[in-house]
């Protein structure tokens, strides 16, 4: 009888241990699952939307450069500018109206970048129509980049830098004080030749959004 009691107690103890173990495993697997869903959240796709004026080689070049750091990217068929984006007085296209138009077409999980060789502009402070190289809101569903104002010499590289800067804005990045960072504020000039990469801080924001960098 005594032996039987001992066995029963042992079984009870071990089953309690089992229960605790099971409970712990449950908690650990839950938190692991949570991490998994956070990490495996579907990455957004960048859609490159060329306007009909821009040569396809330029579009391909910018796309290839972006692909080096962000693989989920696709080129759409070229389109005309919507009529309401044209600013006749200066023969320019309004960047803010372009973004508004592209944003309407951006479905959940996508961000669109418009590419053009036409001059684009926006309102800056008191200046009603201020020429820009690109525009993007922070965060945003669409942005636009133009190679109209770039130096002829380095225009391909500069165009990519403008594009990645505007995409950075859509991903939540604001202007960065680092002089060599892609997110530097152009302040009405063209400092792209001094830019070499995203800085450590800006990279970290993008890494959290599935961007890949070989070095930080």
DSSP 76: P
Question: Which two three-digit tokens encode residue 126?
Answer: 């008191």
Beta carbons within 10 angstroms of residue 129's beta carbon: 13
**Selected binder of Zn ion within 66, 144, 164, 176 (CB under 5 A):** 176
Q: Identify the CA nearest to 47 among candidates 18, 24, 19, 70.
A: 70
Per CB under 5 A, the segment of 9-17, 45-53, 61-69, 168-176 that binds Zn ion is 168-176
Q: Is residue 162 at the binding interface for Zn ion, with CB under 5 A as the rule?
A: no
Nearer to Zn ion, 109 or 177 (CB): 177
As measured in angstroms, the least distance from the Cβ of 43 to Zn ion is 21
Nearer to Zn ion, 102 or 202 (CB): 202
Per CB under 5 A, the segment of 20-28, 29-37, 111-119, 178-186 that binds Zn ion is 178-186
What DSSP element (H or E) covers 95?
A: helix 95-105
CA 158, CA 62: separation in Å to the nearest integer?
Answer: 10
As measured in angstroms, the least distance from the Cβ of 144 to Zn ion is 12
The size of the interface with Zn ion (CB under 5 A), counted in residues, is 6
- Are 206 and 173 within 8 A, CB to CB? yes
Q: Is residue 96 at the binding interface for Zn ion, with CB under 5 A as the rule?
A: no
Nearer to Zn ion, 99 or 183 (CB): 183
Q: Is residue 167 at the binding interface for Zn ion, with CB under 5 A as the rule?
A: no
Residue for token pair 């138009």? 101
As measured in angstroms, the least distance from the Cβ of 31 to Zn ion is 32
| CB contact set of 135 (below 8 Å; sequence gap of 6+) | 95, 96, 98, 99, 120, 122, 143, 144, 166
Q: Is residue 144 at the binding interface for Zn ion, with CB under 5 A as the rule?
A: no
What DSSP element (H or E) covers 98?
A: helix 95-105
**Selected binder of Zn ion within 120, 145, 167, 202 (CB under 5 A):** 202
Q: Is residue 178 at the binding interface for Zn ion, with CB under 5 A as the rule?
A: yes
Q: Is residue 102 at the binding interface for Zn ion, with CB under 5 A as the rule?
A: no
Cite the DSSP H helix spans in 151-208: 155-170, 200-207
In the complex, the residues that contact Zn ion under the rule CB under 5 A are 176, 178, 181, 183, 199, 202
């Amino acid at each position: 009888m005594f032996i039987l009691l001992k066995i029963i107690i042992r079984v009870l103890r071990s089953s309690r241990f089992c229960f605790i173990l099971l409970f712990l495993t449950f908690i650990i697997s839950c938190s692991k699952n949570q991490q998994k869903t956070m990490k495996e959240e579907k990455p957004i796709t960048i859609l490159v939307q060329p306007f009909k004026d821009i040569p396809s080689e330029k579009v391909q070049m910018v796309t290839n450069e972006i692909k080096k750091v962000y693989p989920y990217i696709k080129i759409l068929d070229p389109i005309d500018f919507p009529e309401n984006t044209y600013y006749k007085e200066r023969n320019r296209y309004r960047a803010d109206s372009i973004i508004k138009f592209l944003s309407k077409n951006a479905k959940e999980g996508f961000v669109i970048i418009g590419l053009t060789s036409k001059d684009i502009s926006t309102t800056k402070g008191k200046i009603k129509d201020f020429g820009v190289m690109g525009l993007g809101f922070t965060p945003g569903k669409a942005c636009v980049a133009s190679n109209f104002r770039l130096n002829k010499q380095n225009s391909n590289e500069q165009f990519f830098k403008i594009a990645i800067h505007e995409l950075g804005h859509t991903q939540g990045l604001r202007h960065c004080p680092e002089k060599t960072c892609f997110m530097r504020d152009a302040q009405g000039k063209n400092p792209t030749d001094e830019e070499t990469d995203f800085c450590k801080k800006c990279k970290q924001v993008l890494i959290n959004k599935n961007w890949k960098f070989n070095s930080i």
